Structure 1
Amino acid sequence: MDDFQQFTADVASRLSAMSKGELYVVGDGLDRDSLWLTFLESFPAGTNPRFRERSAYDCSTCRGFVKNLGNVVEIRDGHVRTVWSGVSASDPVFSVVAAAMDEFVGTLPLSGIFRSAEAQYGAKTTRALRDGKVEVWDHLHGQVEKRYRTPDVGAARGTFDAAVQVFQRGLAELTLDALDTVIDLIDDNALYRGEEHHRAVTEFRSLRNRWTEAADGRAFVFANAVNPAARFRNTVIGTLVQDLSAGVDLEQAVRAFETKVAPQNYQRPTALITPAMVKAAMRTIDELGIEESLQRRFARLSDVSVTNVLWVDNDTQSRMKDGLEGLLMQAATTSPGARLRDAKPEEIPVITFMKDILPGAASIDLWVANSHEPHFVSLTTGRNPDAPRLFRWNNDFGWSYGGNVTDSIRERVKRAGGNVTGKVRVSLSWFNHDDLDLHVYEPDGTHIWYQDKRDKLDVDMNASSPLSREPVENVTWAGRIADGEYRIEVNQFRKRDTGDGGFVIETESNGRIEHYRHDRAVGQKETVEVGRMTVAGEVITAFRPGTDMRHGNAAKDVWGVTTEQFVPVSTVMYSPNHFDDNEVGNRHYFFMLKGCENDQPARGIYNEFLRGDLQPHRKVFEVLGDRTKCEPSPDQLSGLGFSSTVRNSVVAKVTMTGGRRRLVSIQF
Structure 2
Amino acid sequence: MPDLPSPPTAAAPSIDDHYDDLLASIRARFGKRTKDKPSLFTTRTPALYQVFLDAVPAELRQTNTCAACRHFVNRYGGIVVVDSDGRARSALWDPETAPEPYTSAIRALAKAVAEAPIDGVFLSDETVWGTPQTGAWEHIAVTPSKDLLHKPTLIKTNAQIMAEKRQDHETLLRGLEAFSIDVVKQAHKLVSTESLYRSETVLGVAKWLLELHETRAAAKNARARENLTWLAVARAPAGFCHVRSSMIGTLLEDLAAGMPFAEVKSRFAAKMHPLQYQRPQAAPTTGNLARAEKIVEALKSAGAMERRFARLGDIETLWVPKEPRPKGQKPGVFDHLKPAAKLAVDMDVPPVTMTWEKFARTVLPEAENIEFFVPETNQSYIGMVTAKHADAPPLLQWDFEDRRNRVSSYVYANGSPPARWNLKPNVYHPVTAIALQPWMWNPKKILTHHGTGVIFILKDARDRDYKQGAGFFPSYLRSEYHEIRATMEAYAQSAVVEGKDTAEACGISLVKGSTWNLSFRVASKGGMRVVYKLDRWD
Query: TM-score interval w.r.t. the shorter chain?
Result: 0.3 to 0.5
Q: Which has the higher strand share?
A: 1
Structure number with greater Rg is 1
TM-score normalised over the length of structure 1: 0.39
